[in-house]
């Protein structure tokens, strides 16, 4: 879901006080009340206008029955389902961003986990799904979700001397069955590729290697970022899809050295990034009154 944050939140970023009082699990003093076995949630229903046609939808939000270390997500053209996610992780998934860029106050909020499902009778584009899911969460919990620019420590991914000589442009059609990881490649005639870790614990910082087949640099950044100790920003300006292989490494430092051999340079820096701030509408109203 790659919709611009400002436009995505334009309609649903602020929820009125009446919606906040109707929410069964509304925030109190910035905390989410932990659901109990008897907690019942009514589905969020409505319609969204797509190409001048109103399309009905239903979003269900329930306390999860998944084990503490278990979560899953499944998406399709007419559905979206996440199980075992806390609120911070849900918002990160909906906006396709690193969870470190979602500011949810009070660590106790992470103790409540949910199953969220969206279903519609027709295919929906990613922007529409994002808008529906955002509206459902803000209504259900009485939230305001707003983008905010902040300066923070990050890693910057750049191409040495403006290019990455170790990367090979991918030629599609020579292989079939490539799994789609991230929608929206840089070139309209490019299909989607795959990125896989091999060996060891198969993580981004301790792996037997990484194999990229027909992946964009955006795909690679998104796959690698959750395993690093900082958010990773792509400033390579490299377009299209590539094939490349990163060999055995035991830690983040070794990984960065191997990437340099491909012409991809990772450096620590400070950048202004967009963070989503998540607050209860009650808190937002109190802040507004204080300013007045």
The predicted pLDDT at position 288 comes to 44
pLDDT at residue 18 above 60?
no
| pLDDT band (50, 70, 90) for residue 170 | confident
Q: Which of 31-35, 95-99, 200-204, 224-228 has the lowest mean pLDDT?
A: 31-35
Q: DSSP characters for 38-64?
A: T---PPEEEEEEETTEEEEEEEEEEE-
Place of tokens 């430092």: 253
Strand order across the beta sheet in which 44-50 lies: 44-50, 53-63, 113-119, 79-86, 72-75
- Which of 111 and 47 is assigned the larger pLDDT? 111
Q: Which of 62-76, 150-164, 222-236 has the lowest mean pLDDT?
A: 150-164
Q: DSSP characters for 132-175?
A: HHHHHHHHHHTEEEEEEEEEEEEEEEEEGGG--TT-EE--TTSS
Closest CA to 196 of 245, 242, 229: 245
Q: Which of 92-101, 146-155, 176-185 has the lowest mean pLDDT?
A: 176-185
| pLDDT band (50, 70, 90) for residue 207 | confident
What is the spatial distance between Cα 266 and Cα 256, in angstroms, rounded to a whole number? 6
- Residue % of the chain over a pLDDT of 90: 47
The predicted pLDDT at position 16 comes to 28
- Which of 246 and 9 is assigned the larger pLDDT? 246
- What's the average model confidence in pLDDT over 85-106? 92
- Residue % of the chain over a pLDDT of 70: 68
- What's the average model confidence in pLDDT over 38-63? 73
The predicted pLDDT at position 282 comes to 72
pLDDT at residue 231 above 70?
yes
- On average, the pLDDT of the chain sits at 77
- What's the average model confidence in pLDDT over 173-180? 44
């Amino acid at each position: 879901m790659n919709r611009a944050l400002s436009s995505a939140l334009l309609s649903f970023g602020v929820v009125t006080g009446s919606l906040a009082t109707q929410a069964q699990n509304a925030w109190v003093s910035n905390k989410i009340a932990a659901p109990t076995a008897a907690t019942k949630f009514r589905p969020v229903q409505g319609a969204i206008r797509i190409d001048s046609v109103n399309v009905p939808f239903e979003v269900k939000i329930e306390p999860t029955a998944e084990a503490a270390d278990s979560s899953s997500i499944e998406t399709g053209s007419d559905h979206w389902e996440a199980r075992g996610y806390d609120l911070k992780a849900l918002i990160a998934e909906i906006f396709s961003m690193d969870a470190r860029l979602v500011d949810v106050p009070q660590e106790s909020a992470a103790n409540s986990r949910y199953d969220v499902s969206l279903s519609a009778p027709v295919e929906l584009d990613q922007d529409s799904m994002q808008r529906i899911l955002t509206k459902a969460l803000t209504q259900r919990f009485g939230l305001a979700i707003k983008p905010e620019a902040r300066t923070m420590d990050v890693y910057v991914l750049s191409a040495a001397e403006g290019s990455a000589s170790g990367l090979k442009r991918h030629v599609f059609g020579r292989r079939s069955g490539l799994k789609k990881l991230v929608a929206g490649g840089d070139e309209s005639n490019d299909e989607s590729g795959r990125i896989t870790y091999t060996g060891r614990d198969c993580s981004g910082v301790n792996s037997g290697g990484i194999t990229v087949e027909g992946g964009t640099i955006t795909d690679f950044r998104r796959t690698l970022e959750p395993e690093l100790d900082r958010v990773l920003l792509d400033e390579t300006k490299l377009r299209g899809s590539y094939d490349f292989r990163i060999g055995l490494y035991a830690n983040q430092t070794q990984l960065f050295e191997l990437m340099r051999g491909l012409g991809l340079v990772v450096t620590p820096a400070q950048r202004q990034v967009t963070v989503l701030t998540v607050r209860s509408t009650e808190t937002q109203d109190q802040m507004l009154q204080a300013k007045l």
